[in-house]
């Protein structure tokens, strides 16, 4: 390797593996996986060491050539899901200390009478109401009682509180009281992590605001300590470039901003995969994608329309509401480790319970005794017991057969193969049903999208998934096993800010609207700062609109050719609102007044990742990659099918199904009546027969 070649690196830390992708400015790409560690920073260093070894370089020499390292992390997510965050104190308006538990007077799962209360991340004794009150115009009704604030902070200090959340009524209109409390915290509790609702979520709706602010305080100290530790270890190893952190909205930010708004990292890992999906779709020529990631325990689904991933401000994570913008990723408990079981009525069920990584599926040979999806895939021939994880792990077919026989086949009086087929068909229908949540239930026709499948188990089930959904094309990306890490290297810098702005359309004060958006843009630019790697910037504006009398809003993009918003721009946004409302809810009423509730602005710092040149097409014959043949079982019978080595396939190779393509980290099943082509980027593009009923015939 020539000296001075710049590398951009993405590292994604998952529960089982830490993935790395490095892109060189000369177009080369390398990737690796290593086992995740208790301290995620160790896993990051291990992955970097393996990458350096691939280049036959010492770690310090490799790091000296890394310009940007983008990190996807599960630190905040795990802290919230496992309830092991910081000790948090909340200061709020007197009389509103229980807002966090009152919520909106209903459970997030309305029809589950057995749903227990959520684990308190801020116990009631640490939620202190102090005298203060503003009205809806920001006028002071009750002055802030500073002595009451100091008394609360002294109690927090005595109790070892690490983080303080501050959320006052109407602080989204005027934040003076919250800012003053921050000054008092600096005096009384200077080491505390401070989370102000006027910074975290300056929007109307009290529960959403206090929940998001408390979660930010709960996760902030852990993220701050972890990133500080990671930066120190990287510096000691010789890294002098810029560290960036993947955010839930699909962009990246620096460590300081990520620690200040830790709530923005809650979907840091999966967000990288959605970003990579949009990039892959752009290069492969598929702007509309249904991105699915099937791992060991979960199935993550995201919709990408016109290369733009969907976002939401209505997420629930760890039983708490997160109202900041996040990529709209729907997750169900369905993966390779999902357990097959028989319910009290004698029906076969699959998931959501999982065998996890330990003991794992029965075929892992680690003590697992219950049958899983992976066991069924092995028995049907979809997995090679000698080539799991590229041969790093051998699967025990006899153990898988025994588990399926004892727990499914014998109780249901069927053969082991039929039981395995039943397990796979049930999980495939579960996956299809979950996909309808982000397609038909959001007004989208699945047939208008290509299915992009990643994750260790995603490409096994994708062909059948597409058939059930009526989708004609499946894309299995070349970097599927490390897809989230690839997305980390490609993501743009992004700051998302918002503010409440109540008005009625038409009749909106355009001057006030422009002034408010100018203030938001100035705030976003100050937060983005001088982050390296951004070649240019782009501003995106959105409006949260609703028909008068509605409870929930619909987010609509506000398109302008200049920075100034005109009456024509608003008319176009209104038309888009009526059309989107009809698509989502089958109702539109252009005569009904429309209310504006919230302004949103995204400032995008456009990065320029290294270009990856396309490969040259050769012949269509994949014979050089043929490894042999294997018996696969389909719903209509068994067939001996060719098995290809994925690392030997070249652009232009054409494979008629049924067939199997074995890659490190994943296996692709090309079902009967399907055809696969390796494109110029190394992606496997699978086309399905136009007659779905004929696809099962081998």
Residues 439-492: tens digit of each pLDDT: 988 889 999 999 999 988 899 999 999 999 999 999 999 888 889 999 999 999
* CA–CA separation, 275 and 279 (whole Å): 6
Residue 2 has pLDDT above 80, yes or no: no
* Mean pLDDT computed over 98-120: 84
What local confidence, expressed as pLDDT, does residue 318 receive? 87
What local confidence, expressed as pLDDT, does residue 691 receive? 62
Residue 1 has pLDDT above 50, yes or no: no
pTM for the full model?
0.88
What local confidence, expressed as pLDDT, does residue 695 receive? 45
CB pairs under 8 A, 24+ apart, for 96-100? 96/129, 96/169, 96/206, 97/124, 97/127, 97/128, 97/129, 98/124, 98/127, 99/167, 99/206, 99/207, 99/210, 100/127, 100/207, 100/210, 100/211, 100/214
Q: Which string of b and e fits 18-46 if b means at least 16 CB within 10 Å?
A: bbbbbbbbeeebbbbbbebeeebbbbbbb
The torsion angle over the Cα atoms of residues 510, 516, 518 and 524, rounded to 10 degrees, is -150
What local confidence, expressed as pLDDT, does residue 533 receive? 52
What local confidence, expressed as pLDDT, does residue 3 receive? 54
Please name every residue paired with 29 in a beta bridge, in sequence order, or none if there are none. 23
Residue 662 has pLDDT above 90, yes or no: yes
Return the closest-CA partner of residue 650 out of 674, 676, 618, 623.
Answer: 618
Q: Which residue has the higher pLDDT, 167 or 366?
A: 167
* Mean pLDDT computed over 234-254: 94
**Domain limits of the chain?**
83-208, 338-427, 493-607
Encoded tokens for 300: 């993550």
Tell me the average pLDDT of the chain: 91
Q: What is the DSSP letter of 492?
A: P
**H-helix or E-strand containing 290?**
strand 289-294
Q: Please answer whether residues 391 and 399 qualify as being in contact, where contact means their C-beta atoms are separated by less than 8 angstroms.
A: no
What local confidence, expressed as pLDDT, does residue 697 receive? 42
- Second CATH level (architecture) for the domain 493-607: 2-Layer Sandwich (3.30)
What local confidence, expressed as pLDDT, does residue 363 receive? 94
What local confidence, expressed as pLDDT, does residue 696 receive? 47
> If DSSP codes are grouped into helix, strand and coil, which group holds residue 231?
helix
Residues 356-376: tens digit of each pLDDT: 777 889 999 888 899 999 999
Alpha carbon 471 to chain centroid, angstroms: 23
Neighbours of 546 (CB within 10 A): 17
Q: What are phi and psi of 149, to 5 degrees?
A: -65, -45
What local confidence, expressed as pLDDT, does residue 104 receive? 80
């Amino acid at each position: 390797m020539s000296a001075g070649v710049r590398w951009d690196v993405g590292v994604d830390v998952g529960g089982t593996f830490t993935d790395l992708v490095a892109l060189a400015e000369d177009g080369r790409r390398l990737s690796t996986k290593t086992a995740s560690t208790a301290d995620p920073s160790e896993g990051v260093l291990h992955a970097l060491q393996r990458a350096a070894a691939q280049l036959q370089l010492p770690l310090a020499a490799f790091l000296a050539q890394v310009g940007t390292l983008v990190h996807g992390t599960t630190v905040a997510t795990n802290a919230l899901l496992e309830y092991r965050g910081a000790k948090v104190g909340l200061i709020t308006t007197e009389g509103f200390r229980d807002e966090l538990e009152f919520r909106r007077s209903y459970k997030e799962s309305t029809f589950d009478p057995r749903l227990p209360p959520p684990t308190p991340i801020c116990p009631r004794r640490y939620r202190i109401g102090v005298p203060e009150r503003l009205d809806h115009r920001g006028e002071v009704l009750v002055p802030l009682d500073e002595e009451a604030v100091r008394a609360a902070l002294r109690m927090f200090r005595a109790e070892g509180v690490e983080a303080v959340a501050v959320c006052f009524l109407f602080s989204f209109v005027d934040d003076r009281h919250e800012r003053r409390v921050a000054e008092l915290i600096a005096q009384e509790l200077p080491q505390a992590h401070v989370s102000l609702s006027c910074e975290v979520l300056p929007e109307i709706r009290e529960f959403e605001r206090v929940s998001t602010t408390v979660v930010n305080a709960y996760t902030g100290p852990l993220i701050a300590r972890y990133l500080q530790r990671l930066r120190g270890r990287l510096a000691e190893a010789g890294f002098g470039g810029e560290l960036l952190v993947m955010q839930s909205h699909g962009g990246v930010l620096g460590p300081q901003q990520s620690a200040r708004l830790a709530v923005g990292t809650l979907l840091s890992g999966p967000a990288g995969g959605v970003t990579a999906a949009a990039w892959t779709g752009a290069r492969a020529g598929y702007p509309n994608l249904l991105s699915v990631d099937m791992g060991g325990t979960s199935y993550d689904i995201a919709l990408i329309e016109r290369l733009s991933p969907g976002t939401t401000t209505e997420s629930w994570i760890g039983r708490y509401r997160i109202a900041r913008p996040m990529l709209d990723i729907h997750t169900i408990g369905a993966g390779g480790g999902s357990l097959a079981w028989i319910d009290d009525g004698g029906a076969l069920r699959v998931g959501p319970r999982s065998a996890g990584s330990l003991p794992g599926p029965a075929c892992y040979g680690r003590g697992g005794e219950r049958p899983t999806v992976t066991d069924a895939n092995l028995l049907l021939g979809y997995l090679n017991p000698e080539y799991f994880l590229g041969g790093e792990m051998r699967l025990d077919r006899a153990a898988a057969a025994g588990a399926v026989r004892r727990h499914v086949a014998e109780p249901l009086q069927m053969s082991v193969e039929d039981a395995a087929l039943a397990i796979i068909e049930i999980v495939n229908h579960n996956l299809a049903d979950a996909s309808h949540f982000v397609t038909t239930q959001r007004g989208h026709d699945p047939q208008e999208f290509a299915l992009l499948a990643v994750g260790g188990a995603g490409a096994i089930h994708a062909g059948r998934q597409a058939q059930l959904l009526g989708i004609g094309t499946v894309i299995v990306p070349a970097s599927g096993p490390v897809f989230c890490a690839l997305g980390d290297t490609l993501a743009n810098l992004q700051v998302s800010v918002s503010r409440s702005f109540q008005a009625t359309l038409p009749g909106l004060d355009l001057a006030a609207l422009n002034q408010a958006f100018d203030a938001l843009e100035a705030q976003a630019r100050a937060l983005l700062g001088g982050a390296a790697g951004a070649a240019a910037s782009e501003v995106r504006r959105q409006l949260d609109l609703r028909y008068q009398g509605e409870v929930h809003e619909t987010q609509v993009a506000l398109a302008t050719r200049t920075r100034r918003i005109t009456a024509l721009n608003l008319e176009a946004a209104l038309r888009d609102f009526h059309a989107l409302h009809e698509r989502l809810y089958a109702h539109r009423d252009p005569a009904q007044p429309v209310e504006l509730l919230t302004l949103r602005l995204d400032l995008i710092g456009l990065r320029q990742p290294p270009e990856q040149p396309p490969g040259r097409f050769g012949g269509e014959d994949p014979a050089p990659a043929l490894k042999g043949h294997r018996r696969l079982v389909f719903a209509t019978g068994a067939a001996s099918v060719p098995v290809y080595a994925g690392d030997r396939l070249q652009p232009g190779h054409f494979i008629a199904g049924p067939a199997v393509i074995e890659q490190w980290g994943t296996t692709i099943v090309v079902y009967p009546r399907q055809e696969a082509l390796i494109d110029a980027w190394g992606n496997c593009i699978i086309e399905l027969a136009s007659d779905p009923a004929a696809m099962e015939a081998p």
